[in-house]
Amino acid sequence: MEKAKRLINETRVMTLSVCRNDIPWSSPVYFVFLTDGFYFFSNENSRHIKDAEGQRQVAASIFQDSDRMELIFGFQMAGRIEAISKMDLHLQVVQKYVSKFSFLKQLFGPQILENKRFFLEKFKSRLYCFQPDIIYLSDNSSTSGKRSEIDLTAI
């Protein structure tokens, strides 16, 4: 599970996959993980947010990039996307987000942590959470099975 924990903390991009009227769409988003989900900022009018509205499930994946097939490692997930409005959770996510993506603080200074509406004002983005219901760990280096269902609370 240490390998899975490292993947969550070191990987920067999660791909969200949605579908509406039988037309699939995928979008990469920067994310941070907190106990129960994968948090990201996005414009509420973006296609992946609009297409996720009213859907019971969407898909997401996080993978370690490699040019060697046996080193491909990551998560394949199904779950739901929710808009986050709780200010205490929002501030907690922003702190972790700025820590993970340090270029934000370098570009915009400490105001990014002080202004509660920074992402909305600067990027027209709101906070969302992808909460997985099903998570499969895919590990091509494994000799006993390449894919197994896991529980992130165990990480």
pLDDT band of 145, cuts 50, 70, 90: low
- State pLDDT tens for residues 75-114: 999 999 999 888 788 888 888 888 888 887 777 776 676 6
pTM (two decimals): 0.87
Across the range 124-128, mean pLDDT stands at 87
Can you give the pLDDT at residue 2? 81
Closest alpha carbon to 78 in 56, 55, 59: 59
On the question of pLDDT at 118 being above 90, the answer is no
Domain that holds residue 71: 2-154
Which one is predicted more confidently, 135 or 108? 135
Closest alpha carbon to 1 in 151, 105, 144: 151
On the question of pLDDT at 49 being above 70, the answer is yes
Q: Which CATH number is 86's domain given?
A: 2.30.110.10
Can you give the pLDDT at residue 60? 97
Instruction: Answer for the pair 77, 59: CB distance below 8 angstroms, yes or no.
Output: yes
Cα separation, 140 vs 21, in Å, equals 34
On average, the pLDDT of the chain sits at 86
- Residue 112 has phi, psi (to 5 degrees) of -60, -30
Cα separation, 40 vs 84, in Å, equals 10
Q: How many domains does the chain have?
A: 1
On the question of pLDDT at 5 being above 80, the answer is yes
